[in-house]
Amino acid sequence: MSAQAEQDPTAPDEVARALADALADIAAAGTLGELKAARVAHDGDRAPLALASAHIGALPGAERAEAGRRVGAARARLREALRARQAELEAERDRQVLLTETADVTLPGGRVLPGARHPVTMLADRLSDVFVAMGYEVAEGPEVEAEWYNFDALNIPPDHPAREMQDTLFIAGKNGTSASGIVLRTHTSPVQIRSMLTRPLPLYVVSPGKCFRNEALDATHSPVFHQIEGLAVDEGLTMADLRGAIQAFVEAMFGEGLRTRFRPDYFPFTEPSGDVAMECHVCRGASAEPGGDPCRVCKSQGWIEIAGCGMVNPRVLVACGIDPDRYTGFAFGLGIERGLMIAHGVTDIRDTMEGDVRFSRAFGTEI
Ligand code: FA5
């Protein structure tokens, strides 16, 4: 045999050695990564058996068939070995995963609580629903409000003492020093103005929302609280309609047959103005009778004040471009936290805002 013949990569010895090398490397591959390296080395484009395959065409015609069978058989054997080892190593990997990544089914599970709406939000929705059922629409307004909507348009000019009734948190232009003063709204009444300016008449809206006052936190006051505002503007509305709306609302919230009481009060944006009290829903007034048992909810007064109200001041209608000779309106506003406290016997307003889930849980987990 010539030296050239010995270097023929298709020669039986060469093919046998290349296959033996390949099978040894495949058998020695202990990981899928090592097997991948063996695949590149022995079955890649530059592998000895691939080169042998490419060399077949250069052989004399008589030798080609024989060499082709030899190299083809070797490559088939090689691929079968690769496939078998791949399957073994994958099975081994999966076994290891099962061994090392075991789940202890006896460990306590991490429960994800579904979450719940806050009792104040739930009450605001219930209150809104009572009025929506009477045909009112829900209106919203911004918490950061122009001084004009919060005061001026509500007949509270800059020098009016009523501004002192509500300790105001100013964002810009303190208390009338700027034409464009910006405040954190002190009540939901500015939504009355926004509604009258943007909605067609007749108008029946209810507006729950957050209010802010520069007040110290104590058992009954908070610097951040919620109110719900009601406003009706229509032809021929009178105090009797206001009374009827409040009476229907009290009965829907606290029970049928509870009486309401109106007493004169003062708000610059309503004339006449009143405060509304309802008969105590716990003692039904009995605690105020001579010899009656004391009542914690109404402090033995028999009545609980729940809202400010009145007929919309004609000056407010005029500020909103409404003809006061044709239209009249009534409005009312009540504190939602105070309502919650009355309805559920909560004695400290701070409980409604500290975020303690034990407080909220007592109201259920409606979501
Ligand atoms: C008003 O804010 C008027 N805008 C209500 C109104 C609307 C009258 C429409 C007439 C027509 P007053 O300042 O009284 O009124 O507040 C109304 C209610 O908000 C109070 O009865 C109380 O329940 C609640 N409230 C007021 N200040 C606080 C506070 N610091 N913390 C908790 N609740 C408060």
pLDDT at 326 over 90: yes
Mean pLDDT of 215-233: 93
Instruction: Name, in order, each residue with C-beta under 8 angstroms of 177's C-beta and a sequence gap of 6 or more.
Output: none
What atom in ligand 1 is closest to the CA of residue 349?
32
pLDDT at 125: 94
8 A C-beta contact, residue 167 and residue 160? no
What is the reported pLDDT for 1?
Answer: 43
User: Element (H or E) spanning 319, and its range?
Assistant: helix 314-319
How high is the mean pLDDT of the chain?
90
Index of the ligand 1 atom closest to the CA of residue 213: 30
In this prediction, residue 3 has a pLDDT band, given cuts at 50, 70 and 90, of very low
C-alpha 221, offset from chain centre? 27
Q: What is the mean pLDDT of residues 128-145?
A: 96
Residue with tokens 């009258």: 196
Q: What angle do CA 278, 212, 339 make, to 5 degrees?
A: 20
Q: How far apart are CA 280 and CA 302, in angstroms?
A: 5
- Residue of the CA atom closest to atom 8 of ligand 1: 308
DSSP string, 93-137: HHHHHHHHS---TTSPP---------HHHHHHHHHHHHHHHTTPE
Element (H, E) at 331: strand 327-335
Of how many residues is the chain composed? 367
**Residue 157: pLDDT above 70?**
yes
Nearest to 22 by CA among 61, 75, 64, 63: 75
- State in Å, rounded, how far the first CA of the chain is from the last one: 91
Residue at 150: amino acid letter: N
H-helix or E-strand spanning residue 343: helix 336-344
Residue 346 pLDDT grade (very low, low, confident, very high; cuts 50, 70, 90): confident
**Predicted confidence (pLDDT) at residue 355 exceeds the cutoff of 60:** yes
Least confident of 111-125, 171-185, 235-249, 344-358: 171-185
Round to whole Å and give the CA distance between 331 and 242.
8
| Mean pLDDT, residues 323-348 taken together | 92
Task: Give me ligand 1 centre to Cα 335, in Å.
Answer: 6
Among the listed ranges 158-167, 205-214, 334-343, which one has the minimum average pLDDT value?
Answer: 158-167
Q: What is the pLDDT of residue 231?
A: 98
pLDDT greater than 90 at residue 142: yes
Would the CB of 308 count as within 6 Å of ligand 1? yes
Provide the b/e sequence for 236-269 (b: ≥16 CB within 10 Å).
ebeeebbbebbeebbbbbbeeebebebeeeebbb
Tokens of 200: 């067609």
Q: Average pLDDT of 257-286?
A: 93
Ligand 1 contacts CB of residue 227 (under 6 A): yes
Task: Specify the pTM.
Answer: 0.71
Residue nearest to atom 23 of ligand 1 (CA): 335
Residue of minimum CA distance from atom 19 in ligand 1: 335
Q: Is the pLDDT of residue 172 over 90?
A: no
Q: In the structure, what pLDDT confidence band is assigned to residue 180 with cuts at 50, 70 and 90?
A: low
Measured distance CA(331)–CA(269) in Å, rounded:
9
Q: Which of 7-21, 154-168, 248-262, 344-358 has the lowest mean pLDDT?
A: 154-168
**Ligand 1 close to Cβ of residue 338 (< 6 A):** yes
Is 145 within 8 Å of 180 (Cβ atoms)? no
Query: Residue 333 Cα, ligand 1 centroid: separation in angstroms?
Result: 6
What is the arithmetic mean of pLDDT over 234-246?
96
Q: Read off the tokens for 141.
A: 């307004």
Bigger pLDDT: 176 or 343?
343
The first and second tokens of residue 249, run together, are: 């609302």
Provide the CB-side half-sphere exposure for 78 (13 A, CA): 27
Q: Residue 102: its pLDDT value, please?
A: 78
